[in-house]
Amino acid sequence: SQQGEEDPQALSIQEGENATMNCSYKTSINNLQWYRQNSGRGLVHLILIRSNEREKHSGRLRVTLDTSKKSSSLLITASRAADTASYFCATDYEGGSEKLVFGKGTKLTVNP
């Protein structure tokens, strides 16, 4: 079964708006990662947040992690049409299993 569950499953916004995606997971983790996938191509690593971190920024991306609630959020500010893609959270289990467990993803559409 999937470890992470993204919410919402689909999100449609206008260019310039912010997009927020949420992810919940089930067990203790080493870190949580967010990836983007364009139209069934390979995954692009966006950001990694470790279990002892609460917030991380990278350009227009902001990720938060709440280990007590086993949840994370990805915020994309000032979205662009090029941000249209599917976004996945993936958890790296505590114990160094070298195995990512992915959620089913959020399909983001940014309308020009």
Residue numbers of the site for other proteins (CB under 8 A)? 2, 30-31, 33, 35, 40-48, 88, 90, 97-105
CB of residue 17 vs other proteins: minimum separation in angstroms? 26
CB nearer other proteins, residue 32 or residue 110: 32
CB nearer other proteins, residue 44 or residue 78: 44
CB nearer other proteins, residue 38 or residue 111: 38
- The tokens 């938060």 sit on which residue? 64
Secondary structure of residue 73 in the 3-state scheme: strand
